[in-house]
Amino acid sequence: MNAVAAVLDAPPTDERRAWVQQVMGMPISVHVRGAGARGPEAAAAVGALMEDLRAADAMFSTYRAESEISRLQRGDLTLADADPLVREVHLLCGIARIRTDGWFDAWHAVPGRPGVFDPTGLVKTWAVTRAARHLRELPAEIGFAVGAGGDVLVRAGAGRAAWRIGVEDPRDRSRVLGSVPVADGGVATSGIAARGTHILDPRTGRGTSAVLSATVVGPSLLWADVFATAAVAQGRRAREWVQTLPGTSGLLVLADGAVHRWANEP
């Protein structure tokens, strides 16, 4: 499932530049707009962002035998001896499990291996949010949108219009279900359209299929991602659960064809 960032009511004279690189096994796109978007400072910030993401991939990829996560899973490394960033992600996964009533569970995310710690469901948006600090150090007038595997982190830029984020229909990925303007925050989508039933119900250990996709909009990309994953894991009961998430909005596409939208006050 992909989300697409586009400019809403942007001045035609706005400076713009875009970069796309393959990092963490996916295309990472960065769009920058505003005075200075084509300057060396913006290019340096994007370069630093990409380097941060490559370092995160080296540390957290479960496909790399010598990553710290792979070593933790094999028992070759203890959490106490792991990099502080690994311990930070481990702590966040514990908080996510509490905040979602156990529906996001990094210790029940690997089929057939309950108890194995795998932060994959959180680490991508954690890494993007952390790496985007380089863009946030640019002048406030510069806006940006970072897209990573269907999740988008944006800042409109002072005095500038919001970005519009479009969400694909999981039943027809050539169709956009709708769009939402976002000035500063994140949009995360989880689902089974692209990768099948890879999100597990942590209580049964089996893949879920009642929710085709869950899109969450909120001030934090990381927590939008966690909530979207938890919603897919819950299945149909997610319709009631998402109403309890203050300051978020979004939509669920269910396998029976129903589309559930919500918008909660902070």
Across 24-28, 119-123, 175-179, 224-228, least confident range: 175-179
Structure tokens at 79: 């959490």
Tell me the pLDDT tens digit for each residue of 128-143.
999 999 999 999 999 9
Cα separation of 265 and 206, whole Å? 33
Class of domain 3-263: alpha beta
Average pLDDT in the 10-17 region?
A: 71
Beta-strand runs (E) in the chain: 3-7, 16-23, 26-33, 143-148, 151-155, 163-169, 172-182, 184-191, 200-201, 206-207, 211-218, 249-254, 259-263
pLDDT, position 81? 98
Q: Please, which pLDDT band fits residue 193 given cuts at 50, 70 and 90?
A: confident
The mean pLDDT of the chain is 92
Q: pTM value? A: 0.93
Q: What is the pLDDT of residues 195-217, one digit of tens each?
A: 667 899 999 988 888 999 999 99
186: closest CA among 248, 235, 138, 261?
248
More confident residue, 1 or 49: 49
